[in-house]
Structure 1
Amino acid sequence: MRILISGAGIAGPVLAYWLTRHGFSVTVVERAPALRKTGGHAVDLFRPAMNISEQMGVLPRVEARATGTNRMTLYPEGARRCVRVDLAKIFGATSDRHVEIMRDDLSEIYYDATREDVEYVFGDSITAISPDGAVRFENAAPRRFDLVVGADGLHSNVRRLAFGDESRFSAFIGAYFGVLNLPDASGLDGELRMHVGVGRTAGVYGARHLGDARALFLFRSECELDYDHRDVPRQKDLLRNAFGGMHTDVDRWLDELDRTPAFYFDSITQLRMDNWSRGRVTLVGDAGYCPGPAVGGSTSLAVVGAYVLAGELARAGGDHERAFPAYERAMAEHVRGSHAVALSAAKTLVPTSRLGVSGLVQGSRLISALPAGPSRALLRLTTKSARLYNSMTVADYPPSPATSGSRVGFAGDPGGGFGVG
């Protein structure tokens, strides 16, 4: 059975790995001419994605590429004093298995785990999908596949072809974010520096193995801004207007906008769809259920979604009419929870009032001051994301006969499944 995946970011290679393990023949098409190495930003892997990565045999590489960010210095806008936060304590309290890693590094690791067994086609894109599985491409000759999966992100081309214009499903949640590379991370040494004000948050961090740093900007807007997604100068001006004069550190980061080798800007938007499948086409990760870039657990959700989709296809013997609805049922609660958490996280990360800024600062100070036990209890009582991730479970999918009896499931978890932290 031949399956075409659009997108070689995170969900695409993970899905390709598990489909291959279940005996399917997989092709991945990626619009970019090579694996994307555009700088990117840090993403979080929680327990289920860590377990999946371990079963893929890539966990040592994932852990070796961890950013190593273990503390945060928080500067409230206009205040004289900063607050120092032990991030290791917070991560340890919210999840018993977690790593922060640069998105590009993670994408490369998953790609490397699949490139020997999966056909990758770079520099091409799908232009049409017929109900019978015939697919047309921008450059390559037409081919026929049994199934097509869109793993091509928030602005999915496959979703547009199968479901219609993105505006039908996207919900702007009131904020924007930008990421740019800075030339030197030598002074950070495992530190995240954050400046927080009403309606705007800016921070900078590095990674152990990187020679540069990343600056992250999030700001609120009551309405969607007028700009073209290809108009980078306009996007940079939006950041300058939103953050100018916040702090001398932030002004210095903004000075790098015209020199940065990598820049990303987008709205913080959720994808809200009643279903993610139509005929022979389905969606996975941000293409189908993005909770919101920079504020939701979209990376872990994408990894889990890819694992579940492959497992349901294997369980149904490749019958998509059975597998796709089962995949959607298995992921529905996780997606709803992630969407709700993202809305809450956006309000916390980008406070809407001075009271919100004060609450963020005082809460961080309290958690840092308490011993590990009480701070863990406080976080689990007050952090919606912790409750979501710790309650999420995913089924264990036994291997297909075509996989030579190798076990794909997760040993050591009660009930044959595994939790997420």
Structure 2
Amino acid sequence: MTNNEILICGAGIAGPALAYWLRKGGFAVTIVERAPAPRPGGQTVDLRGAGRTVIERMGLMGRARAESVDQRGLALVDTTGRTTARLPADSFGGEGIVSEIEILRGDLAALLYEATSPDTEYLFDDTITEIVQDADAVTVTFEKAAPRRFALVVGADGPHSVVRALAFGPERDFVHPIDLYTAWFTAFDDLDLDGWYLMHNAPGGLVVSARPGRLPREIKAGFSFRSPPLAYDRRDVAAQQEFIARRFADVGWQTPRLLRAMHTASDFFFDSMGQVRLDSWSRGRVALLGDAGYCATPLTGLGTSLALVGAYVLAGELAAAKGDHGVAFRRYDTVMRPYVNQAQQLPPGGASGYAPSGRLGIRLRDLSMRSMTRWPMRNLLAAQFAKAGDIALPEYGLAADIRDRPQSRPRGERMPATSMRPIG
């Protein structure tokens, strides 16, 4: 391949992870991202199984551990705040619902950005509007930058992928809703969580949650509910917040307090949950990675592992095939497909297990939670959690060159904004 330039759409976790390994394989990489800068904060994500192995091979595990959030585990609470069930973080060898290493999405993205920014071109505040393929390359039209030609284009831009829409077809053909919606946001409050990820269920398939962040008084809050597909404006945050406020108006526990905090949150995010399924993750010179190609939903806890492992495998196969994208894309599918198929199997009960509709369902869910560390529930859950490591990662010879060391800045201090400037 005489043109070794690859464009990645999306600067979250999957995109920069792919850029890291592609640079090891000798490719020139550009990442385009709609946001004006790397997005800070966000909810916590898990580093588990093969995803943890990829971070170790990148030489970033020490820093990831230093950035991790201290959480004692998951606890279910009733309307009075009384604990009805709990699962400590050290259950299932640290690979349970709350894993041993939980890190804010923005903190992990920042580590990956810093690892790639010296030799990766970042185009922030821009997106792709057209993709035209020919026998030799892909001509990409951007919203702001001038058109350019790349050997390959990779969509790592989430379940609502622009690249997938342009190269594969409309979202409705590939995104399969599980009839569950979630709003996430950050609150700063003196609510005492005692280090636990607290979750309260209410009739009607309603879930209210609060878990510790990394900064003092920082709380990562969530409102989830079951519903058939809804029509709403994804850009109208105020309307989304008002909808959530009405839906949860009569829910107890700390719900009123968290609803008040929601209206002033700077990072409010609302979306449906759905799985992305395609028969092939490539079309010509365009490929999909992470949630854009095989979102498993947050219920599985495997989205980050899929993104990191997929990035490692896709880059490794491109390097092994010396840029022959046809061979590489087929190998990428062969290696990843069994792992993805396993990861997309929802935990027992699926959406109804996470958000029971009635009081009896809530009581039964509490009972099953209390039984998770005992036979036979333990064996069932152990098999679910083991999926994170259920892949034999190939050795591609793409060695890391980053020293594995913890961050030197004090815990609780964010990365200075000047360290996250776009280049190129």
Alignment partners' CA distance in 1, 2:51 and 2:386: 17
Contact 1:380 1:387 in 2 (8 A): no
Deviation, structure 1 residue 379: 2.4
Larger relative CO (CA 8 A, sep 6+): 1 or 2? 2
Match of 1:165 in 2: 170
Cα deviation 1:346-397 (Å, max 9, x = unaligned): 3322124434322321233344xx6xxx57x852334552242343333222
SS of 2:229's equivalent in the other structure is coil
What one-letter code is carried by the residue in structure 2 that aligns with 1:397? Y
Match of 2:379 in 1: 380
Alignment partners' CA distance in 1, 2:21 and 2:53: 13
Question: What is the 5 A alignment of 1:23-62?
Answer: 23-37=26-40, 39-62=41-64
Match of 1:209 in 2: 215
What one-letter code is carried by the residue in structure 2 that aligns with 1:89? D
Which stretch of structure 1 is more off in the superposition, 295-304 or 208-217? 208-217
Unaligned runs of 5+ in 1: 400-405, 409-421
Scaled by the length of structure 1, what TM-score is found? Answer: 0.87
Alignment partners' CA distance in 2, 1:242 and 1:186: 22
Deviation, structure 1 residue 143: 1.2
Match of 1:89 in 2: 90
Equivalent position to 2:243, from 238, 247, 252:
238
Equivalent position to 1:69, from 71, 84, 91:
71
Match of 1:414 in 2: none
Deviation, structure 1 residue 289: 0.8
Alignment partners' CA distance in 2, 1:275 and 1:252: 46
Question: What is the 5 A alignment of 1:113-152?
Answer: 113-132=115-134, 133-152=138-157
Structure 2 residue 6 is the aligned partner of structure 1 residue 3 = yes
SS of 1:112's equivalent in the other structure is helix
Contact 1:172 1:270 in 2 (8 A): yes
Cα deviation 1:23-47 (Å, max 9, x = unaligned): 111111111111112x311111112
Which stretch of structure 1 is more off in the superposition, 79-88 or 172-181? 79-88
Scaled by the length of structure 2, what TM-score is found? Answer: 0.86
Contact 1:71 1:84 in 2 (8 A): no
Cα deviation 1:33-73 (Å, max 9, x = unaligned): 11112x31111111211111112121111111111111333
Alignment partners' CA distance in 1, 2:241 and 2:348: 25
Q: Which protein has the bigger helix share?
A: 1
Equivalent position to 2:101, from 99, 103, 117:
99
What one-letter code is carried by the residue in structure 2 that aligns with 1:389? A
Alignment partners' CA distance in 2, 1:124 and 1:210: 34
Cα deviation 1:8-34 (Å, max 9, x = unaligned): 000000000001111111111111111
What one-letter code is carried by the residue in structure 1 that aligns with 2:59? G
Deviation, structure 1 residue 115: 0.7
Deviation, structure 1 residue 258: 1.9
Identity, % of aligned positions: 41
Cα deviation 1:158-185 (Å, max 9, x = unaligned): 1111012111111111110001221225
Task: List structure 1 segments (4+ residues) > 6 angstroms apart after TM superposition.
Answer: none
What one-letter code is carried by the residue in structure 2 that aligns with 1:36? R
Unaligned runs of 5+ in 2: 402-424
Deviation, structure 1 residue 325: 1.3
Question: What is the 5 A alignment of 1:147-296?
Answer: 147-184=152-189, 187-198=192-203, 199-221=205-227, 223-296=228-301
What do you get for the CA RMSD once the two structures are aligned? 2.4
Contact 1:13 1:110 in 2 (8 A): yes
Aligned residues: 393
Contact 1:32 1:123 in 2 (8 A): yes
Contact 2:71 2:195 in 1 (8 A): yes
